[in-house]
Structure 1
Amino acid sequence: MSVKPAVPSVGTLMVDTSRRDRVGEFRGVSGPYWSLRPVTGGTEWEAEPEDVRPADPAERLRAKTARANARSHGALL
């Protein structure tokens, strides 16, 4: 019997280990899945909660830097 992970707050940076450690912003729960959104904008994706973990400090810094760079280039976020 597996223990379900606690649902994070909206906006928390999370890592989807099933997608080569892709970092996304937690957006909410959709049925049995968690919805994540790329930090540089784009289409949300759904992940199994068991495959998602909080981003560590280095991953958060890389994500925030990527977001700032995208904004500086005029990307819509």
Structure 2
Amino acid sequence: MTEKLASLFGVSLELAQVIMPILVIHFVLALIALVDLIKNWKVRTMPIIWLFIILILNLIGPVLYFIIGRQQKHAD
């Protein structure tokens, strides 16, 4: 599969083998962060902003959400 992707995007096989695990890690982290955000939508202080951070900041966004966003609770 990596060979097909490498030829499709015109990159070397070695580069594709380095990029694929990073893409998988990014997808899994983003998916877990989005699921957690949606499950706790009402208790997050700024869920729309966290949604954009997770989706736009690629690998850093989900990590920031897990470090900062999950600890924030709605202030009553």
TM range (shorter): under 0.3
What TM-score do you get using the length of structure 2 for normalisation? 0.28
Whose strand proportion is higher, 1 or 2?
1
Larger Rg: 2
What TM-score do you get using the length of structure 1 for normalisation? 0.27
